[in-house]
Every structure is written in C-alpha cells, then in structure tokens.
Chains A and B, each alone.
Chain A
Amino acid sequence: MPEKYHITTKPVPPRRPRIGKYGIVDWREDCARCHNCVKKACVYDRHRDEIKYIRDLETVDALFFDCMGCFSCVQDCTKNLLCLTINPEYEKLGNSYWTPEIILTTWAQAETAKIPVSGAGYGGKFSGYGFDSMWTDMSEIVRPTRDGIHGREYISSAVDIGHNSSFLVLNGDDVVSPLSPILSTPMPLVIDRIPDKYALPKLDAIIVETAVKTGLITLVDARKWPLAGVDADKCLPHIAFYFAAGAAMLSEEILKKTQLAEIEDDRNVKSRIRALKQIHPGIVVAVRVELTAGGMQRAIDLADEDVEVIHIVADSNGREIGSEHPMFIKDMIRKVHRSLIENGRRDDVTIIAGGGIALPEHMVKGVLCGADLVSIDLPLLVGLECHLCHQCGDSHTCPAKIQEISLSYGVGRMTNLISAWHDQLVELMGAMGMRDARRLRGDVGRAMFFEQLEEEAFGRLFGNRLQA
C-alpha cells in the first residue's frame, strides 16, 4: 500500500478560559449551605473546576463557562437557587454566518485534532442558508473497498492543481505531446492569505510552518517576502506567492523553489503569466478573481483564455461581493462549473473556491458543487481562539490576545484543525462510497439539494412552493 497522508498532531490546550455555551447563575444569598450540595454531585465536576479556576485567577477578565448544560444541579438544589442560562459571551461570538456553534467547534478541533462527536441526534434547523441547503448522499452498499474497517485507508484525498492534458501523444514509449506543469496537494484545501484587517505579527510565519507540517500550499503576499524566522528552503515548496496587480516579481532563485503562484486579475493577466513562466517554466499560475457582479463571467472567460487555475473568491460570508441580492458561493461555484462543462473547458482548468468555507462539510460540499478545491483563511484564525469580534480591525486590543501566541501554539492549533478537517473529509467520503477526492468534483449525484428534494417529495403533494 502506498504511504498514506497523515498529519501528526498533539493536543494544544487553549490559552484563554473556555467560553462555553452555558452558564450557571447562582443566587448565593439564600443558600442553605447544604453539606451535600448538588454542585458536588456534578457528573463532570464542573463546579469543582470553577472553584479551582477562581482560586487560580490572576486577573478577572473572563468568567468560567464550561458547564455541560444538563440541568441536574439546577433541578436538584434544595433551595432552587440555580439557574441555567445561555452564556452571553457565547452569544457574542462570531456573527450570523460564523455562528457561535461554528466558533466553538473550531476551537475544539484546534485543541484536540479530533472529530467532534456527540449524542442525541441532530438539533438544528431542517435546512438553511448556503451550504445548509444541501446534503451529501450516502451509499447503502457501495464502499470504497471491501477491505479494512471502513475502507478508509484506501481513500485518497489528494487533488491536482493545474492543466490536465486530456490525451497524450506517444512515440513508442516516449510522450511527445507537451505536458503542462501540475502539482498535487494532499487534500482539496489551500490556505489563503488572512485578510489584511486581521494582520497580526507572526501570523504569516505560523501559517507557512503549518503548511509545511500539513503538506498543503499557502498563499503569501510576495510583497511580504522574506518572512522573518522562516526557513526558505523548507518552506518555499509550500508557498504560492500572490502577486497583486503591479507588484514586482521575485527573484528567479526564489520562484524556482515554488510550484504555484497566484496573480491578481487585471487586463495584463496573460502577459504576467507569460513573465512568470519565463522565469520558472514549471510553475502553475492561478488567477484570483473576486466574485463581484461580473466575477463569474470573468472566471469563465479566463478559462477560454487558457488560464490553468482560477481562484474565485467571495466575501468572508460566502456572498457575491458588492451585490444587493448576493448569490452564495455554492451557487456561484455550480454556475461556473456548469458553464465550463458546457464550453468543453472543465478539464482544462482547476477551480479553487474561497469565501464562506467555515466547516469541513463546506469543503466537501464546495467540491461536490464543482470546485476542485477550496481555500480557507478565517477558520485558521478562529483556531487560534479568535472570536471574530473584529476589534483588531478597529485598532482595539484583541480579547484573545493573539498577538502574544507562540509559534508552537499557533502551528499546533492550525495543524490540529486541518487534521480534523481531513478526518472529516474522509468520514464523508467513506459514507458516500468515494475513494478518490478528484472524483468528488462536481459529482452532484453524490449530493442532494433542498430545492430538488422539496420539489420531488412535496411538489406533487402540495403544489408550488411559495417564494420567500
């Protein structure tokens, strides 16, 4: 069996007090001081943990919220003095898209590298906005292989970036047709640049180290090179330099150690690609296209112009940029993918989709909708205990004190998160009966969409669906 992709992880505990979903409000003034207080009976000893936390507290800047929300102490207190509430700090996390649930599960994965597991079934909404309006299909019988516990050890999560030749011309055993450069990445994920508003010292170096450790590719703004404290020889194969319009080229010596570069979309795209290829013929060049009103059409047009890789990027919530009625990234990927198929160009170009990829299922669903791979930025930042409160953008102090993190903490947390995402990718591929991530691309036969299921199941029973 070929060597399998494996990420070595170890738990990286949080630096800050946990922000749990629940908090116990305790009206102590009427307490009967029972010697067998219900708090002592907490199944998970959370009340003792709280006492210890308060005892060791140096500064009172965060309360203890690690309650499991079982109501046992609340319901058994002899004086009925306890009350369970949703922690207001929890409710403040993130925003309407990056919900507190997403923030919390990302923190847990960054800490443990484990797939989140819980009991009692699903408690969320029936369907929802964006990626929540689709389901992956599963196979009752077909499996990746007949061997192994789940056949998972045979699942390949690797994908290619670059132009795939649709046929080869051979002369005897020699390939005579020109071969385009191509590179493989061990999972359909690219680490994007963290938006400038979140720029923090050390962050780029941490991300680059994470890319090395996980074997992924990360985008780095060419203007920032060289990065302090980064071993260039080790890191350059995992770096894809991003060249903004008008940005100067890097030296041949540096570029030749990389495999992928990305340029900002402008009118001179073709000449800039040519310039890069002249320096390093083996490099794959991506063009970054922001999904504004004309973004999708621009991506389709670029494919016609023989661009190898197109990186389409929505805003951080997955929405079309600058539109009053924005499309969601899922629908934009589908539209671009379908157009490329209709134009007969789909296999000529790699599509990387970014913006709004917040959970591992978004990665899988993005690929099912037609992207070859997705790019992420904010999940890695959240993995560092970021609250997505945007205070840093307003020049206020970061409540998570990310500026103080160490390299080992940052790399450990990000690596754990990527590892957990990879495991969940494999989990979903196992359930779908898929063995190769390359074959996930655009396989809507392995996906089910809300609109389609509603029409099939309820359309014939209840007529037409009312528009919202």
Chain B
Amino acid sequence: MADFLEIDCKLEDIIPEKTRKTRTPQFKQARTVRPAPPRYRNEISKYIILRNEELCLKCGKCVEICPQGVHVKSLGYKYFAQPHSHLCFGPVCEKKGCYCITACPQGALRIQENPMMKALGDYRWPAEMILATWKMAENGECPSEDYGYDFETGKSEGGFDRIRFKFPDRPPVELKDEEIDTSIELNRRHDGRARIRIDVPWYGGGMSFGSVSNTTQLSKARAAVAWNTFSCTGEGGFMERMRPYDDHMITQVATGLFGVREETIQRVPIVEFKYAQGAKPGLGGHLLGDKNTQAVAKMRETVIGISLFSPFPFHSVYSIEDHQKHIDWVKHINRRALISTKVSTPNDVDMVAVGSYSAGTHIIHLDGGYGGTGAAPDIAKKNIAMPIEYAIPKVHNFLMAEGAREQVTLVASGGIRNPYDVAKAIALGADGVVIGTVEMVALGCVRCNRCSAGRGCPRCIATTDKTLAAKIDLEWGAQRLINTYNAWRNEVVSILRRLGLRSVSELRGRSDLLMHLDYTNVVVEREA
C-alpha cells in the first residue's frame, strides 16, 4: 500500500494538513456565564400568588418576609406591583419560615398551582422541565431545589424516566469538581487523522438552515465555540456566514445533498453522513413549502416555495461496501476530517453500527425514534424504530463483543433532555450524546409543535420568516445556550462526583450504577 502511494500519489500530498482549510479568522467566544433573561415580559411560573386587594392593608409584611422578591411595592406607591410569581418557591417556604401566605396578618394572599402548567409541555417535556431549562439558560445554573422543579425526569413512564442512579451515601472517592474531566475523544481509530477532544460530552445536532433561522444556527455555533465542542449544519447547506465557525462545525451529507460541495466538505473537521434521523426514521428530511424561502431555496439550489422531501436512503448506498465508498470519497476530499455516521435505531442497529465501523467511520451516531426537532409525519414519530434507551446498550454490547468498541466513538441522540439523561445514556454505553430540542427550549421553545409549516415557529426559533427571526438577538441566543451548557456541565460533574468518578469516560457502560424502577434490579445471568 505504502509503495503504491509513494509511486502514484506522493504521500506528502495526502497528509491531513494538505487539505484546504478556511482562511477566515475563527470566531472567539468566551465561556463566561452572563444573565440572559427571558425575551418575554411575563414569565410562566409553577405557582401563582393571588392578592385580595380588599383585604390587603398594604402593610408590606409580605415584602419583608419574602427573600425571593416576589412581592414588590415601589417607593412612593400605594399599591403593590403584580407579584413576581415566577420567583416564588411555593409551599416549601413554610418550612423555611418565610411563607407570605401565613405571614399576611389579613390572610389576603393565596397561592395556587398555575393552571397554565397543564397546557405547557408534554409527557416527554413536562412543564417543570421546560421551566428548569429556561432557568438554566437564564443563569447558567440548574434551578435551586427550592423551586421544586422535577427536571431530572419526564412523565413518559418509560426509558430514562424510569431509570435512576444508585448514588452511594458517600462517594467511594472524595473528589473536587476541578478534578473531574468531562471531555471525550472523538477519534479513537489512531488512523493519523486529528485527535479531536471536546470539553463536554455532547455536541449540537443537525438543524438545517430552512428548518431553523440563521440566528438559531449561529447561536448554536457560538455555544459550540465557547465550550470547545461542535454544532452541525443539518442537511440544508453550509452558509458562507458560518465560515468563522468552521473549526467547530460538522457539515452533514444527507440524502438530499442540498448544498453539498467539495468546498463545504473541506471546511470542517467532521463530516456527518446522515442515513436516517430519529424524528422520522426511514423517511427523508421534510421541509414544507412555506419555509422554503428565497434564501433557503438559493442555499439548497431549489425552487422557492416547493416542499422538499429528501429521498431515503442514499440511492447510491445499498450495502456496507457502498457506504465505505462514500466514506472513502469524503476522506479523500478532506484529509483531516473525521467521519460520523448518523443512523436511526432499527432492530439490527447493532449490525449497522459494526458495519459502519468496518467501513471506516470514526463516530457512530444513533438517533433514537423519540427525538428530532424538524417536521415529521406524526405517524413516524412514535411508531418507527426503537427508543434510544434500548439501542445504546444493544450497540455498546455488540461493539464490545466484536472487539471494536475502543476504536469507535458512540454518540446517542433522540430524547436527551437534561444532564441526567446525558449521564444515563453514557452509563448505558454511549461515549457522549447529541442534543437538539434542549437548545430550542433554551431559546424559548414551548414545544407547541408548530415549527413545521406556515411562517414556522411562533416563538421565532425554527422559522425562516425574516420578521420573526429578527426577534431573537444573536448575542442573547448564544448566551442562553452557553449558560445552558454550563448548567449541564456542572450537573454532570456533580453526578460524577457523587459516584466518585474522575472522568465521564469512566462512566461509560457503567450500567451497574443505574437502577430501573420497574425491575427487581437483581441481575440474573441470561442465556445467550
């Protein structure tokens, strides 16, 4: 092989450094947490405080007693401002001796659960998880326990929502937060290509220009820069405006091949082949006509206003050998790039993963059926392919059995909603995760599911409508994501500290640290 290269190709011509890189100076983004308050005037709260103005003496006792500043009476004003219910801890204040409801001498205050909580969110993303994510995006920290937000699990009654960590009373090793490493390696093949290490065990999933706004894409990219991780272009092409972020971008080669050119492949350190996606396994990408605006159509080299349904799958790939040809093609065009292969989770996902490894991929990305941010037929969301909770241990164990586990990075997506899901996915066998929906929620998404058509997202995130997109400020958007990443990392560190683990890599495959609420949790040897 070496002889062949020396004679015909000149080895020096194919070394990774020879690949053309962007000459655009790369954007610098500090990892600093700064307040990024919500864009909307009225925050949604778990509790609401109601004041009976007829009974209220305006004595100000409530203002004095509340450490959270829920009650506000400005100097010189006779009446109170509306209670800042979003700051309220609720009945937990009673134990702390700062409960305004009982402190009011007139009994003029009343507290009740906000009826809007029922209308916000869904089983997978309950209202409390959304509110907690908003707090993380605002302050860079997980909300204090006093808020009583149950953001560690959803209400889907299965999968991650029934799995818990078995935290010991005292960690086996006392560790300080600074001693804990959350970085993961993306290239384990030792094939001469770049060793890329990201500082957090996740990167941003693919959301194309067309599905989300320019601002949303750039916010994601800036957060990736700040946290030395990656964001992904999705399949809608690679905007020129993204050049300053090239070193932290993954460009996607999907079945529609929208905007895929040699030049775009050469710009990035990681190229992702998207075979399937969790939002609609077995179907190609959907971009409905209303969102195919002039800018989107230009990027995708299509006609304005027509719905774009990407084919499924690659019509040039009908075997692992065909897949290998694809990988070789990209490896040849970009000699420094790592290859990620994104697949969904069919029953034979373990075979697909091993096949992909043998074809030369560096990262196997499993996208489970319950995730996704883009437009998808409702029938595809629940009914096709298995949830990621099943797929991760299946693939991890099979790769172990095949002796390939240490040569490939396994990342999982499709329902990773909070730092506990990250840790659970890793304990089940993944090296890291890919996130998407949480970034949308951090930017203000309420999961109303209206991102697919018309003007797109009424919360101005997943839209190509210029007027709507302009309502989100890029600096603000980037900061919300940077803050969320910070909160997540802190929580992952806290989980590792409580388990006595020095690095997130030590957590990989440690399912013995997990328990399932629906099982005996007494492991019995099963027949092969």
User: Which A residues fall within an 8 A CB radius of B?
Assistant: 22, 42-44, 68-72, 74-78, 80, 83-86, 105, 115-127, 132, 135-143, 146, 149-150, 359-361, 364-365, 424, 427-428, 430-433, 445, 448, 453-454, 456-466
Contact A140 B276 (CB under 8 A): yes
- Report the nearest B residue to A431, measured CB to CB: B282
Closest 10 CB pairs of A and B: A431-B282, A126-B158, A123-B122, A119-B451, A138-B282, A75-B40, A462-B519, A70-B458, A43-B458, A463-B520
Contact, CB under 8 Å: A139 / B516: no
If A84-B119, A140-B352, A150-B312 touch, does A120 touch B445 (CB 8 Å cutoff)?
A: yes
Contact of B374 among A68, A119, A427 (CB under 8 A): A119
Q: Is B501 an interface residue (CB 8 A)?
A: no
CB of B508 closer than 8 Å to a CB of A: no
Q: Is the CB of B450 within 8 A of A70?
A: yes
Instruction: Please name all residues of chain B whose beta carbon is closer than 8 Å to the beta carbon of A85 when the two chains form the complex.
Output: 115-116, 118-119
Nearest opposing residue in chain A for B523, CB measure = A463
Contacts of B40 in A (CB 8 A): 71-72, 75-76
For A44, what are the chain B residues with a Cβ–Cβ distance below 8 Å?
Answer: 450, 454-455, 458
Of chain A, the residue at the smallest CB distance from B312 is A150
Residue of A118, A138, A463 most packed against chain B (CB within 10 A): A138
The stretch of B16-24, B57-65, B243-251, B365-373 that contacts the partner chain:
B365-373
CA distance A122 to B123 in the complex (A): 9
Query: Chain A contacts of B526 at CB under 8 A?
Result: 459-460
Q: Is the CB of A460 within 8 A of B378?
A: no
Is the CB of B317 closer than 8 A to any CB of chain A? yes
The answer to whether B393 and A69 have CB atoms under 8 Å apart is: no
* B182 contacts A by Cβ under 8 Å: no
Kindly list chain A residues whose C-beta atoms are within 8 Å of the C-beta of B174. Answer: none
Q: Is the CB of A462 within 8 A of B516?
A: yes
| Complex Cα spacing A314 to B325, Å | 52
**Are A430 and B312 neighbours in the complex by a CB distance under 8 Å?**
yes
Any A CB within 8 A of the CB of B74: no
A143-B452 in contact given A72-B458, A125-B158 (Cβ < 8 Å): no
Q: Is B459 an interface residue (CB 8 A)?
A: yes
**Are B44 and A75 in contact, with the CB atoms below 8 A?**
yes
Are the C-beta atoms of B378 and A105 separated by less than 8 Å?
Answer: yes
Q: Which residues of A contact B369 (CB under 8 A)?
A: 122, 135
Name B's A-contacting residues (CB within 8 A): 38, 40-44, 82, 115-116, 118-125, 155-159, 161-162, 275-276, 278-284, 286, 288, 309, 311-313, 315, 317-319, 343-344, 346-349, 352, 369-387, 389-390, 393-394, 415, 428, 437, 440, 445-455, 457-459, 462, 468, 511, 514-516, 518-524, 526
Decide: A80 near B82, CB < 8 A? Known: A85-B115, A86-B119, A136-B383: yes
**Residue contact B455 to A43, C-beta cutoff 8 Å:** yes
Q: For residue A129, give the distance in angstroms from its CB to the closest CB of chain B.
A: 11
- In the complex, are the beta carbons of A118 and B452 less than 8 A apart? yes
Which residues from chain B contact A143 at a C-beta distance below 8 Å?
312-313
Q: How far is the CB of A125 from chain B (nearest CB, A)?
A: 5
Q: What's the least CB distance linking A101 to chain B, in Å?
A: 9
- Across the interface, do B311 and A69 meet the contact criterion of CB distance under 8 Å? no
In the bound complex, how far is the Cα of B40 from the Cα of A185, in angstroms?
A: 55
- The answer for the CA separation of A138 and B281 in the assembled complex, in Å, is 7
Q: Which residues of B contact A137 (CB under 8 A)?
A: 346-347, 384-385
Contact B42–A127 (Cβ < 8 Å): no
A363 → chain B closest CB, angstroms: 11
* With contact pairs A70-B448, A83-B116, A139-B282 given, residues A121 and B520 touching in the complex (Cβ less than 8 Å): no
- A84 CA to B120 CA in the complex, in Å? 9
Are A78 and B516 in touch, CB under 8 angstroms? no
Cβ of A430 and Cβ of B283 under 8 Å apart?
A: yes
Cα separation A203 to B156 with both chains bound (whole Å): 39
- The answer to whether A43 touches B452 (Cβ under 8 A) is no
Kindly list chain B residues whose C-beta atoms are within 8 Å of the C-beta of A457. 389-390, 393-394
- Docked complex Cα distance between A427 and B386 (Å): 17
